[in-house]
A and B are shown apart, each in its own frame.
Chain A
Amino acid sequence: MSLKKFSELFGDLDSINSTNNKIEVLKNYFSSNDPIDNSWAIYLLTGKSNKRFISGRYLKNLFSQIYAYPQWLIDICYLKVGDSAEVITLLLKNKSNSRKKKLSNISLNELLSETIPALSKLNEEEKNLEIKNLWETLPEDNHLIFNKILTGTFRVGVSIGLITKSISKLINIDEEIISHRLMGNFKPSIDSYEFLINKNINLQELNSKPFPFLLANTIEDKIFKNSINDFQFEWKYDGIRMQLIKRSGNVSLWTRGQELVNESFPELVEKMSQIKDDFVLDGELLVWNFKEQIAFDFSVLQKRINRKSPSRSIQKKYPIIFIAYDLLEINGRDIREIKLENRRIELEKYFSKWQNKTENNISDIFKICDLIFPKDWTDALTYKEKSRENNTEGLIIKKKTSIYSSGRKKGIWWKYKVDPMQLDAVLIYAKGGSGRRAGLYTDYSFALWKDKELIKFASAYSGLTNIEIKELDKWIRKNTIEKFGPVRSLKPEMVFEISFEKIQISNRHKSGIAVRFPRITKWRKDKKINDADSLDNAYALMKKIS
């Protein structure tokens, strides 16, 4: 089966808006291609790996070098297209007369298991030659896929849920099973595909895999009509959502992004291995302030996430904790189908047993989440408002009678998030967007007053409607003071309400503060720049919280 088929699939998925049609197209692809190509297709479509073999910049430089093409011209084109792989694909159309060689017809499997891995074994000069060779021998229709895989930017509007649905339809097996089979590592091979489409369900087969995560929905007003006693209340932590699995004695830590992160948190693996029972826990990993019994900011946790085999001193400096909020499996028995309130009883029972029976104290790295007991919904609101004091993001509300299903199922779990903090700031820079927003100015920087000067304090690119984006883009082009490459400095005139979740001191920024998840919540056309907030207002916000 050729790469061409996969390119066609990509084209189809890219140009179909209806979910049902996408599922149909995927189903047809899977039923008419080799298992090995199918496994690679799933690997790419689910974003299991977006390994970058070369950077977008490298790709552009290489094209410029091979065809003696001016770099500045590629850069201008990039501003319009917003994606290096696509720019080069479009520019290669102009080079079609340099194709003398016979067009090769390789399969997706050959490309991904042989051709591209072989590239990384070559020295730079050989590698460049080989890429040129591939450009000139691969059929033109395949250039985009090839360039995107090379630069690790292969993305198409397909979710894991869609893949799950299409395979479920293909073999007529329940989605939950397929979804479970797709969890965790997925190594493209004939076996991994055959495992996925196996019609016999053997629960043992799923031993190494986490369960599909159950996700919370945003709170809905109708929930307030129910009795408060129907729900369990927990703090919403801002850490890494994780399933902690111990099966047949082996501990594995799976993030919601389906990454196995044992190596980053060896102290947790070690401690949990000492527990005699097997189990699957759902919970949150945090860096914990043991003195005050609250979590550190996510920014502290980031110092641990990407560090494999952390030293003892790092482990000590950033002590982690796993806070379990659910028990999904105990000693091989899947208990996801029993009610939450009963699972909680089991969780508490086992936790106290483990605490007593484990030789080393496990509670310095593992605890179960505290429950909150608001008297009524007004009381729940009061708890939510207080959540910043203990560094949480609000509350999670769970229906006591609910079972643990998968995905963002409605009517089971809700997040009741604390209202964001807001400041009115002045737009001072804009930068061209990339991807879908190419050719428009969509990345904005905002400033606050310090005496008579505007100091940049945050960048944001989300929150405006498409119509507002177009309007603002027009304004930006007319009110540019200076251009620096893709960035324009602007006449200070427009005021926006910026919302964010956290604010803290930062010596990396001129403003002295850093905010988390800044986004635009309102275009304040009613405000003049003198009405915008000052840095002092921002400092005051910071004081109010701590």
Chain B
Amino acid sequence: MRTKKEYLIRYKDGNLYCDLADIWIDPNKPVKKALITHAHFDHFTFGCEEYISTKETAILLKERVGDNIKIKTFEYGEEFKINGINVSFHPSGHILGSSQIRFIFAEEKWLISGDFKLQNDETCKPYEIVKTDYLISECTFGLPIFKWDESNKIANDISKWITNSPEKTSLLFCYSLGKAQRLLNEISQTNFKGNIYSHGSIHKMNNSYKKLGIDIKDTIKIENKKKIDELKGSLILLPPSLSKGSYLKKFKNIQTAFASGWMSIRALRKRSGYDKGFSISDHADWDGILEVVKMSEAKNVFFHHGDSEALRKYLVEKESINVLLFGK
């Protein structure tokens, strides 16, 4: 076995790093050069000299943080060289523009899964199977208690939740980039035909998706002066950061829900403080992670972003796959 220094990609200061290419992947501190898997803020930090991402991710990032960043972009599947190492982006199915990143050096293939899901999502490219020798996979939901329902079932549940309380205003909290657009896409295919409003941050992302050619249902940007009566029976999409505090005071007679994979656990649902939880996620569930491990044909697997104890033990015992641990 090699020492950790000898791996092509390793953990350095809590981030993924490739020594030979001298490049960081989704670093949480300013560095010289950073590959960005997708435009969520927990995968991006200000102050890097140069960013490299897919075209869509670059556009979304600029919409969110302004034009003052230097980003080089590549198409999915397009190979480019960094210090002699072949690198390419491949769709990961997480949100629009999200990618897995493949490294090839001296015939050895490495794949960083990024955040990914296998479930159907019409607002982004589906997950692409990429074969590799080494896989670095996320494992946010790495327990078999996580098993996602079809997203149209969840959308129908949401539709029923709204229409069963016609006298109320239904506030659905969800991440403003990715989840909100996926939900809008799904909900527009249900029986719910009432008005949908969205918070400014979500509205902005909807427009970015539209510009990138994704068909997203029109929503009304929620204005401060909206009359309460007009909102009765309608759906309002809001970012989770507004669920606590004074923002909700302006609404009368509301019901609240949170759309997140964590909502499949009753204790978390109860602790979250929302009336209801809809279990829908843009990450892979247990079966999804196992499937990706198998399809990638990786002989060696690393996990990050989550508690990997169960997956490690399961893969070693049941699938005889070598699961490695990053040294700190």
Q: Which residues of A contact B (CB under 8 A)?
A: 14-17, 70, 72-73, 76-77, 80-83, 86-87, 90-91, 93-94, 435-439, 466
**Are B147 and A86 in contact, CB atoms less than 8 angstroms apart?**
no
| CA distance in complex: A87, B143 (Å) | 11
List 25 contacting pairs A-B, 8 Å CB cutoff, sorted by A: A16-B275, A70-B314, A70-B317, A72-B313, A73-B144, A76-B143, A76-B309, A77-B310, A81-B266, A81-B267, A82-B267, A83-B266, A86-B265, A90-B146, A90-B264, A91-B145, A94-B287, A436-B267, A436-B270, A436-B271, A437-B267, A437-B271, A438-B267, A438-B268, A439-B265
- Asked if B276 lies at the interface with its beta carbon under 8 angstroms from chain A, I say yes
Residue numbers in B under 8 Å from A70 (CB-CB): 314, 317-318
Question: Which residues 131-165 of B sit at the A interface, judged by CB distance below 8 A?
Answer: 143-147
Q: How far is the CB of B324 from chain A (nearest CB, A)?
A: 20
Most chain A beta-carbon contacts within 10 A, residue among B268, B317, B318: B268
**Are A94 and B147 in contact, CB atoms less than 8 angstroms apart?**
yes
Residue numbers in B under 8 Å from A82 (CB-CB): 267
Annotate B252-293 by CB proximity to A: 1 below 8 A, 0 otherwise: 000000000000111111110001110000000011000000
Most chain A beta-carbon contacts within 10 A, residue among B264, B265, B270, B309: B265
Residue numbers in A under 8 Å from B275 (CB-CB): 15-17
**Are A439 and B313 in contact, CB atoms less than 8 angstroms apart?**
no
**Are B145 and A435 in contact, CB atoms less than 8 angstroms apart?**
no
Residue numbers in B under 8 Å from A81 (CB-CB): 145, 265-267
**Are A73 and B314 in contact, CB atoms less than 8 angstroms apart?**
yes
Q: Which of B144, B267, B310 interacts with A435 by CB under 8 Å?
A: B267
Residue numbers in A under 8 Å from B264 (CB-CB): 90
| CA distance in complex: A373, B146 (Å) | 63
Q: Which residues of B contact A (CB under 8 A)?
A: 143-147, 264-271, 275-277, 286-287, 309-310, 313-314, 317-318
In order of increasing CB-CB distance, the 5 nearest A-B pairs are A438-B267, A90-B145, A93-B147, A15-B276, A77-B145
Interface residue SS majority, chain B: helix
Interface residue SS majority, chain A: helix
| CA distance in complex: A439, B286 (Å) | 18
**Are B270 and A91 in contact, CB atoms less than 8 angstroms apart?**
no
Q: How far is the CB of B201 from chain A (nearest CB, A)?
A: 26
**Are B143 and A14 in contact, CB atoms less than 8 angstroms apart?**
no
**Are B265 and A438 in contact, CB atoms less than 8 angstroms apart?**
yes
Residue numbers in A under 8 Å from B147 (CB-CB): 90, 93-94
Q: Which of A14, A15, A83, A94 interacts with B144 by CB under 8 Å?
A: A94
Most chain A beta-carbon contacts within 10 A, residue among B144, B145, B287, B313: B145
Residue numbers in B under 8 Å from A77 (CB-CB): 143-145, 310
Q: How far is the CB of A431 from chain B (nearest CB, A)?
A: 15
| CA distance in complex: A70, B144 (Å) | 11
Residue numbers in B under 8 Å from A16 (CB-CB): 275
Residue numbers in A under 8 Å from B286 (CB-CB): 94
Q: How far is the CB of B288 from chain A (nearest CB, A)?
A: 12
Residue numbers in B under 8 Å from A466 (CB-CB): 271
> Which B residue's beta carbon lies closest to that of A90?
B145
Residue numbers in B under 8 Å from A436 (CB-CB): 267, 270-271
Contacts A15-B275, A72-B313, A76-B309 given; does A87 touch B268 at CB 8 Å: no
Residue numbers in A under 8 Å from B271 (CB-CB): 436-437, 466
Residue numbers in A under 8 Å from B146 (CB-CB): 90
**Are A14 and B267 in contact, CB atoms less than 8 angstroms apart?**
no
Q: How far is the CB of A71 from chain B (nearest CB, A)?
A: 12
> Which A residue's beta carbon lies closest to that of B276?
A15
Most chain A beta-carbon contacts within 10 A, residue among B265, B267, B270, B276: B267
> Which A residue's beta carbon lies closest to that of B310?
A76
Known: A81-B265, A438-B268. 16 other contacts (CB 8 A): A15-B277, A17-B275, A70-B314, A70-B317, A73-B144, A73-B313, A77-B143, A77-B310, A80-B143, A80-B145, A80-B265, A91-B144, A93-B147, A436-B267, A439-B268, A466-B271
Q: How far is the CB of B89 from chain A (nearest CB, A)?
A: 32
Q: How far is the CB of B22 from chain A (nearest CB, A)?
A: 32
Residue numbers in B under 8 Å from A435 (CB-CB): 267
**Are A87 and B145 in contact, CB atoms less than 8 angstroms apart?**
yes
> Which A residue's beta carbon lies closest to that of B309?
A76
Residue numbers in A under 8 Å from B317 (CB-CB): 70
| CA distance in complex: A340, B310 (Å) | 63
> Which B residue's beta carbon lies closest to that of A73?
B310
Q: How far is the CB of B254 from chain A (nearest CB, A)?
A: 11
| CA distance in complex: A80, B309 (Å) | 13
Residue numbers in B under 8 Å from A86 (CB-CB): 265-266
Q: How far is the CB of A482 from chain B (nearest CB, A)?
A: 16
Residue numbers in A under 8 Å from B314 (CB-CB): 70, 73
Residue numbers in B under 8 Å from A437 (CB-CB): 267, 271
| CA distance in complex: A92, B203 (Å) | 38
| CA distance in complex: A77, B286 (Å) | 12
Q: How far is the CB of B157 from chain A (nearest CB, A)?
A: 10
> Which A residue's beta carbon lies closest to that of B165?
A21
| CA distance in complex: A437, B143 (Å) | 18
Residue numbers in A under 8 Å from B270 (CB-CB): 436
| CA distance in complex: A435, B265 (Å) | 10
Residue numbers in B under 8 Å from A83 (CB-CB): 266-267
Most chain A beta-carbon contacts within 10 A, residue among B146, B264, B266, B271: B266
| CA distance in complex: A76, B314 (Å) | 12
| CA distance in complex: A16, B275 (Å) | 6
| CA distance in complex: A437, B265 (Å) | 11
> Which B residue's beta carbon lies closest to that of A92?
B147
Residue numbers in B under 8 Å from A94 (CB-CB): 144, 147, 286-287
Residue numbers in B under 8 Å from A80 (CB-CB): 143, 145, 265
| CA distance in complex: A120, B313 (Å) | 37
| CA distance in complex: A512, B266 (Å) | 39
> Which B residue's beta carbon lies closest to that of A74?
B144
| CA distance in complex: A80, B143 (Å) | 9
Most chain B beta-carbon contacts within 10 A, residue among A73, A77, A91, A438: A73
> Which B residue's beta carbon lies closest to that of A93?
B147
Q: How far is the CB of A435 from chain B (nearest CB, A)?
A: 6
| CA distance in complex: A70, B312 (Å) | 13
| CA distance in complex: A509, B69 (Å) | 64
| CA distance in complex: A81, B276 (Å) | 17
Most chain B beta-carbon contacts within 10 A, residue among A14, A80, A439: A80
> Which A residue's beta carbon lies closest to that of B270?
A436
Residue numbers in B under 8 Å from A14 (CB-CB): 266
> Which A residue's beta carbon lies closest to that of B273?
A17
Residue numbers in B under 8 Å from A438 (CB-CB): 265, 267-268
> Which A residue's beta carbon lies closest to that of B148?
A93
Residue numbers in B under 8 Å from A93 (CB-CB): 147
| CA distance in complex: A14, B275 (Å) | 8
| CA distance in complex: A76, B312 (Å) | 12
Residue numbers in B under 8 Å from A76 (CB-CB): 143, 309-310
| CA distance in complex: A129, B318 (Å) | 26
